[in-house]
Chain A
Amino acid sequence: MTATTAPAGAPTAHRVSVARGYRFELVKLLAQWRVRVLILLSWIGPGLAVIAVSGQGTLPSDTLFGREMHATGWAGALVVLSFAGSWVFPLLTSVVAGDVFSAEDRLGTWRHLLVAVRSPRRIFITKALASLTVLMMCVPGLAVSGIVGGLVVGSRPLTGLDGHLLSPADAAGRLLLAWLCVLAPILAFAAIGLLASVIFGRSPIGILLPAFGGLGMQLASQVLPMPVAVRLTLPSFAFLSWNGLFTSPPTLGPLITGIAVSLAWAVTATALAYVLFMRRDFTSLANDGSMRRAITFGILPLLGVWVLSAGVLAAATGAAGSGIDAVKLQRSLATSFAHIYRLQSQELYHQNVTAAELRARASCTKGEGMVAQQGPGVDWRCTVYWRLPGSGAATGAAIYQLDASPNGRYVADGDGPQEVNGYFILRTSYGDAPNPLWQFDGLIDLLAPTSKG
């Protein structure tokens, strides 16, 4: 086209600032009833759920800290975080970020928006910021609501994942830190949502992708026999890696890995979405997405990030296999047992001993020694040995059946003797409760180096 100079005094294009564009996008998002419902539910739902579930006789013991919901309200607040990581965050990012671009395709409003704003770059920035803002309206709501519900149930000490008793203030601090940590995978899923929304246009796949992607990742990491470096570099793992904050000292390796990987996914997916959006031809109204484009500009680059980060992690830590082996389980189980034994002794008004004095150790075998002594599974069987101070050479022994999950969490189920780790009721300060040594949750560090002995 021939370039000419604008005559003096000719009207120039009016620039719409990012701030005004952001406000415009926010107004549109908040006018949608489903977004309002999500925000409302985020601020009300978790609190009501914690109060309601804590009042039930049966607790969600499959969920981390679920079995402690009668003992302390902080467990309820943590159950909210666990549940949100599995279901709510992927769904939330789907509905908000996964729809922010495709909504304009469905409504046929791109041309109107372009004429009004005159800059695809600013449209992208304002849409990304507005969707992030709505997410940030929901996430604190989930946290605050869960905590308020927990406080209504009762602010009492919480048993950590290594049996340590955490004071309410300590539990609250770690809980807030855990919520901060999950912001990274939320960003990653929001960026995936933006990318899907840009790629798939008015097709509903864009909205569904983050939700199904999140569930798919979780399912894959639970079912498929992945090496630990591959498992930990899935952004969905970062929704679980805050668990490491509830051991002493905190299990930081998987946590930091999860945050770093999530941020890498967030940056990559956002950059891809930006490039695709800037290259889009808005003269065509019908953008139903293209699977080829999704594979080329969505799936393959993100797979690249996954493979690269897994390689870096494996090289940096030497992590191989599942990260779960007998040595780690024995070490973790013995520590947890000693701490919880002390707790049980206090509740039974028995001799007050410290965990160190018990000198607890454990011996674990998988599949009765007939299979490789590593990896997740329900076939881990462990015996814990301990000694009471002043009891001479007498050694106590208790058997546990362990269900070790691929993410490093395990459930220890007491298998005798009955008076040590069997099911019986104790009278505690907050009411009747099952024997704490009967069933408890534990966590191993998947990235910790394995040392024999």
Chain B
Amino acid sequence: MPIGEIADVCAVRARGITKSFGDVIALDGVDLDVPAGQIHGVVGPNGAGKTTLLGLLLGLASADRGRLEILGTPVSRALAAPDGVAGFVDGPGLYPSLTARGNLAALAALRGPGAPTAGIDEVLEQVGLTDVADDRVRGFSLGMRQRLGLAAALLTRPRLLVLDEPSNGLDPAGKRHVDGVLSQLAADGATVVLSSHRMGDLEALCAEVTIIATGRVVFSGPLSKLAAGNQELDYRLRTSDADAARRLAAGTDGVQVIDDGGMQSDSEVLVVRTLMSALDELVPALVRAGIAVRELTPVVSPLEAAFLALTEQRAEQQEASQ
């Protein structure tokens, strides 16, 4: 595909990105495509290279090898990311002696009148910090700082927002608020790349994810593709008749009833291990037998299961190669 067309489709396009710090290879031939207007999750165990990758997208460093295009602009050196890229890694950079409004005002003044800048009150309202706008950041909780960091990024009217663990320290209400902001941003055409250790957060927000292990991409694509893989998952199944459901499940091909050793306190719930295809047979069978299905949820999310499987597999491969 010609570069011009890729630029229209992809906010980020990376090919063979390699980055080392001394003897440590942080990224090893990473390929990444992030379509514009999408929320894209980056997942990986600690030390996998997530922060390095996000730092490259923000322009904090340059890759040793490979090609990186951001918003259609080739980026070949540090601090050369095009305008329209904003965000933070390793927590937002805020000045505690300034108020929330003061931090944003200083940042807006730094950009100058020529740069596209959102209103300070507007972004404070977006992240739900209007009530504390004139309080010094020194007294802010971690969650409030995260939200103010997001506001600082929104101030630049980003077309690519890069966020490292944005939900750190957020209470459920704050998280819902931030999720809403990010979803709206994507709906408006901006691209969001975020990392998180909370798989549930990413599943709720992201259309696609990239899983990184030991500096390499082990999966990149839609969540549905990850969940639909040929991988058995454990599901919590709550029915109107647990005993009958257990008998039926045990007799269904490809379904294994898990004995949880009394861990499950609710007698109406049983845990089954199965592929998606077998689950598709079990549920109609339960209904035909007159057993109402009240809840069916994965015990471990598909993303988390895939993450664990893929990262463990990668670690085993690395150990074997050594």
List the one stretch of B31-39, B93-101, B275-283, B296-304 in contact with chain A: B93-101
Instruction: Kindly list the 8 A-B residue pairs having the minimum CB-CB distance in the complex, ordered from nearest.
Output: A112-B93, A109-B93, A4-B74, A14-B83, A31-B97, A11-B82, A118-B79, A10-B73
Contact of A11 among B83, B93, B96, B97 (CB under 8 A): B83
Extra inter-chain contacts (20) besides given A14-B83, A107-B93, A283-B52, CB under 8 Å: A1-B65, A1-B66, A1-B76, A2-B66, A2-B74, A4-B76, A6-B72, A6-B74, A7-B73, A11-B73, A12-B83, A13-B82, A20-B111, A21-B110, A27-B109, A28-B95, A31-B97, A108-B90, A111-B60, A282-B60
Report whether B109 and A20 are in contact in the complex, using a CB–CB cutoff of 8 Å: yes
Question: Which residues of A lie under 8 Å from residue B86 when comparing CB positions?
Answer: 115
Indicate whether A450 reaches chain B with its CB closer than 8 angstroms. no
Counting chain B CB atoms within 10 Å of each CB, which of A1, A16, A24, A282 scores highest?
A: A1
Report whether A112 and B67 are in contact in the complex, using a CB–CB cutoff of 8 Å: no
Given contacts A2-B67, A11-B83, A16-B110, contact A31 B95 (CB under 8 A): yes
Contact of A4 among B3, B97, B102 (CB under 8 A): B3
List 16 A-B pairs, Cβ < 8 Å. A1-B64, A1-B65, A6-B72, A7-B72, A7-B73, A10-B71, A13-B79, A17-B112, A21-B110, A31-B98, A107-B94, A108-B90, A111-B60, A111-B89, A113-B93, A283-B21
Given contacts A12-B83, A14-B111, A31-B97, contact A4 B90 (CB under 8 A): no
Question: CB-nearest residue of chain A relative to B26?
Answer: A283
Question: Which residues of B lie under 8 Å from residue A4 when comparing CB positions?
Answer: 3, 67, 69, 74, 76
Indicate whether B91 reaches chain A with its CB closer than 8 angstroms. yes
Total count of chain A residues near the partner, CB < 8 A: 40
> Smallest Cβ distance from B150 to chain A, in angstroms?
13
Question: Which residues of A lie under 8 Å from residue B71 when comparing CB positions?
Answer: 10-11
Given contacts A12-B73, A113-B93, A115-B60, contact A28 B98 (CB under 8 A): yes
Interface string of B140-163 (1 = CB under 8 A from A): 000000000000100000010000
A282 to B91 alpha-carbon distance, docked (Å) = 15
Question: Which residues of B lie under 8 Å from residue A120 when comparing CB positions?
Answer: 79
Question: Which residues of A lie under 8 Å from residue B29 when comparing CB positions?
Answer: none
Report whether B89 and A118 are in contact in the complex, using a CB–CB cutoff of 8 Å: no
Contact of A10 among B7, B62, B91, B93 (CB under 8 A): B7
Interface string of B47-70 (1 = CB under 8 A from A): 000001001001111111111110
A7 to B82 alpha-carbon distance, docked (Å) = 12
Report whether A111 and B90 are in contact in the complex, using a CB–CB cutoff of 8 Å: yes
Q: Is the interface of A mostly helix, strand, loop or mixed?
A: loop
Question: Which residues of B lie under 8 Å from residue A20 when comparing CB positions?
Answer: 109-112
Question: CB-nearest residue of chain B relative to A34?
Answer: B97
Question: Which residues of B lie under 8 Å from residue A295 when comparing CB positions?
Answer: none
Contact of B159 among A11, A13, A32, A112 (CB under 8 A): A11
A113 to B67 alpha-carbon distance, docked (Å) = 25
> Smallest Cβ distance from A36 to chain B, in angstroms?
10
Given contacts A21-B110, A108-B90, A283-B61, contact A10 B55 (CB under 8 A): no
Question: CB-nearest residue of chain A relative to B110?
Answer: A24
Indicate whether B88 reaches chain A with its CB closer than 8 angstroms. yes
Question: CB-nearest residue of chain A relative to B71?
Answer: A11
Given contacts A1-B63, A4-B67, A7-B72, contact A115 B58 (CB under 8 A): yes
Contact of B106 among A11, A28, A108, A110 (CB under 8 A): A28
Report whether B59 and A118 are in contact in the complex, using a CB–CB cutoff of 8 Å: yes
Query: Which residues from chain A sit less than 8 Å from chain B, CB to CB?
Result: 1-7, 10-14, 16-17, 20-21, 23-24, 27-28, 31-33, 107-120, 282-283, 285
Indicate whether B254 reaches chain A with its CB closer than 8 angstroms. no
Report whether B93 and A110 are in contact in the complex, using a CB–CB cutoff of 8 Å: yes
Report whether B82 and A16 are in contact in the complex, using a CB–CB cutoff of 8 Å: no
Contact of B110 among A3, A109, A117 (CB under 8 A): A117
Given contacts A31-B102, A283-B52, contact A116 B110 (CB under 8 A): yes
> Smallest Cβ distance from A158 to chain B, in angstroms?
43
Report whether B110 and A114 are in contact in the complex, using a CB–CB cutoff of 8 Å: no
Total count of chain B residues near the partner, CB < 8 A: 54
Counting chain B CB atoms within 10 Å of each CB, which of A14, A24, A282 scores highest?
A: A14
A222 to B275 alpha-carbon distance, docked (Å) = 85
Report whether A114 and B79 are in contact in the complex, using a CB–CB cutoff of 8 Å: yes
Report whether A13 and B67 are in contact in the complex, using a CB–CB cutoff of 8 Å: no
A116 to B104 alpha-carbon distance, docked (Å) = 12
A23 to B82 alpha-carbon distance, docked (Å) = 23
Question: Which residues of A lie under 8 Å from residue B73 when comparing CB positions?
Answer: 6-7, 10-12
> Smallest Cβ distance from A40 to chain B, in angstroms?
16
A107 to B83 alpha-carbon distance, docked (Å) = 25
Question: Which residues of B lie under 8 Å from residue A107 when comparing CB positions?
Answer: 93-96
A194 to B205 alpha-carbon distance, docked (Å) = 45
Question: CB-nearest residue of chain A relative to B93?
Answer: A112
A303 to B152 alpha-carbon distance, docked (Å) = 44
> Smallest Cβ distance from B30 to chain A, in angstroms?
13
A23 to B112 alpha-carbon distance, docked (Å) = 11
Question: Which residues of A lie under 8 Å from residue B65 when comparing CB positions?
Answer: 1
Q: Which of B2-52 contact A (CB under 8 A)?
A: 3-4, 7, 21, 52
Question: Which residues of A lie under 8 Å from residue B115 when comparing CB positions?
Answer: 14
Question: Which residues of B lie under 8 Å from residue A116 when comparing CB positions?
Answer: 107, 110-111
> Smallest Cβ distance from B239 to chain A, in angstroms?
51
Question: Which residues of B lie under 8 Å from residue A11 when comparing CB positions?
Answer: 71-73, 82-84, 159
Given contacts A4-B3, A33-B97, contact A10 B110 (CB under 8 A): no
> Smallest Cβ distance from A236 to chain B, in angstroms?
31
Report whether A12 and B110 are in contact in the complex, using a CB–CB cutoff of 8 Å: no
Indicate whether B92 reaches chain A with its CB closer than 8 angstroms. yes
Counting chain A CB atoms within 10 Å of each CB, which of B21, B85, B95 scores highest?
A: B95
Question: CB-nearest residue of chain A relative to B19?
Answer: A283
Question: CB-nearest residue of chain A relative to B63?
Answer: A1
Contact of B80 among A13, A32, A33 (CB under 8 A): A13
> Smallest Cβ distance from A282 to chain B, in angstroms?
6
Report whether B90 and A285 are in contact in the complex, using a CB–CB cutoff of 8 Å: yes
Indicate whether B81 reaches chain A with its CB closer than 8 angstroms. yes
Counting chain A CB atoms within 10 Å of each CB, which of B86, B94, B110 scores highest?
A: B110
Report whether B60 and A119 are in contact in the complex, using a CB–CB cutoff of 8 Å: no
Question: Which residues of A lie under 8 Å from residue B62 when comparing CB positions?
Answer: 1
Given contacts A10-B71, A111-B88, A116-B107, contact A283 B55 (CB under 8 A): yes
